[in-house]
Amino acid sequence: MSGRRALVTGATGYIGGRLVPQLLDAGFEVRCLARDPGKLRDHPWRGDVEAVRGDVVSGEGLAGALEGVDVAYYLVHSMSGGRDFSDTDARGARNFADAAAGAGAGRVVYLGGLAPEGEDLSPHMASRAEVGRILLEGPVPAAVLRAAVIIGSGSASFEMLRYLTERLPVMTTPRWVRSRVQPIAVRDVLRLLVEAADLPPEQDRAFDVGGPDVLTYAEMIQRFARVAGLRPRLILPVPVLSPGLSSLWVGLVTPVPPAISRPLVESLRHDAVCGEDDLSGLLGDHARLGFDRAVELAVRRTSQARVDTRWTSASWAGAPSDPLPSDPDWAGGSLYTDERVCGVDAPPGAVWRVVEGIGGARGWYSWPLAWAARGWIDLAVGGVGPRRGRRDPGRLRVGDSLDFWRVEEVVPGELLRLRAEMRLPGPAWLEFRVEDGGDRTVLRQRALFRPRGLTGHLYWAAVTPFHGVVFGSMSRNMARAAEREARAGQPA
């Protein structure tokens, strides 16, 4: 395989971020296409790949990105939706298929969803099937791998299953828990994606991929409980519960918000079982991990904080993505700021550890009820909600999700900038700087908001009275945590 070049789209996402190192290990030269290549900066493999700027929906940069490529991986889809997501998905697939043909790419590989033929599919499942059809109709040979539930640390399917099982010893469940599913371990998905590059040109088709076990979702819950050392769960099915209501129920119990859980729930309305296993015959019949082993590995990596990518790795659809403006005039003179400065009797390293560890299980060092309430309000209006947590409990990298924030910039030991992904009438940022002030370390904290229209100005006026409590206590409590750490000689 030495010397072959692979293009990976969606490298900032859950599968793409894990596929890149697998391709490198297999001897590929890897090129990554991203709308913002800067989001790849802190990945451990960044120095080993070529990153190019481009967008499959607009078509920008596709021709150059696909030049000289032997295999192109299409790992883009609108999981969290939007009003016109299916049209957007189809346009991106057509642009990619056309550009791959124009550049003379050798093969396209796409990871889609496993769904029964002839059924009334959900909009998301139908859109993924349409993307696969578009790629297969293109001039370049395509391999469309269709998987059902993917089991791996950090996957949305795994976290939904984990939180439902761990938090609900007794649960009332909708009918979809009786659907038959053929889950597959994420490491098997990655291996098959890599090996699909070796398929001969005449293999221009879709392939069903799954693990060795066929289970109902209720059986998956019970098997997960057994692997995790929990007591058997009492499952009480109810006859009627729509996908919309199911997704709201899942959103209350798990960190997966309804906008993400609804497509997952809708994919479980029908049986998702492989109709063939032809890929094994073509690539070699490697043993695939069973469900119990896949869960065991995922639970272990989660408990050890060794989660390379999470379902939150990809940006939230429709979330503000503007970088922090360096000049208030860029925003027409309207860039509201709340700034706090605090002296800390602790070395800069101790202060930075507190800053980088913010959010997730440690919280936000101020008025937990207010942060929780803001998160639940965001969830109620279709936002990401308060509980996405962190990929790693102690380290952050650009592009990480952090509850309802996204890491926009990290300069280790000096700067952490977060961009809000909650529903707001304008983009917002929260920034921390750690400076060596000689006798005392200086912690600078800024909240910034660029209002959008009159609603934005009214929003800032409404929340300003609470800033003294929320942001003032945050900087003080972070300073105290760093001082405790310095005195104890251990993390706060």
Task: Read off the pLDDT of residues 63-83 as tens digits, 9 standing for 90 and up.
Answer: 999 999 999 999 988 655 556
Q: Are 344 and 351 in contact (CB under 8 A)?
A: yes
The 10s digit of each residue's pLDDT in 202-243 is 999 999 999 999 999 899 999 999 999 999 999 887 766 666
Q: At residue 1, does pLDDT exceed 50?
A: no
- % of the chain with per-residue pLDDT over 90: 49
CA 401/CA 300 separation, integer angstroms: 21
User: What span, in angstroms and rounded, lies between the C-alpha atoms of 191 and 309?
Assistant: 17
pLDDT computed for residue 81 by the predictor: 52
| Cα angle, residue 162 at apex, residues 369 and 216 outer, rounded to 5° | 135
pLDDT of residue 203: 95
Report pLDDT for 245.
Answer: 66
- pLDDT bin (cut points 50, 70, 90) of residue 150 is very high
Q: Summarize pLDDT for 254-269 with one digit per residue, the tens.
A: 777 767 777 777 777 7
For 18, other C-beta atoms within 10 Å of its C-beta total 21
pLDDT at 244: 64
Kindly report which listed range (11-15, 295-299, 456-460, 465-469) carries the lowest average pLDDT score. Answer: 465-469
Per-residue pLDDT tens for 412-452?
A: 999 999 999 888 888 899 999 999 988 899 999 999 998 88
CB neighbourhood size of 105 (10 A): 25
In DSSP terms, 410 is beta-bridged to 416
Residues in contact with 243: Cβ distance below 8 Å, sequence separation at least 6, in sequence order: 122, 262, 265, 266, 269
What is the distance between the alpha carbons of residues 78 and 83, in angstroms, rounded to a whole number? 11
- The predicted model scores a pTM of 0.80
More confident residue, 287 or 247: 287
Give backbone dihedrals phi and psi of 80, rounded to 5 degrees, phi first. -90, 0
Q: Give me the pLDDT at residue 490, please.
A: 58
What confidence score (pLDDT) does residue 243 get?
A: 60
Return the residue matching tokens 């800032």.
460
pLDDT confidence bin for 246, thresholds 50/70/90: low
CB-based contact 262:197 (threshold 8 Å): no
Residue 389 has pLDDT above 60, yes or no: yes
Q: What is the mean pLDDT of the chain?
A: 86
Distance CA 24, CA 3 (A): 11
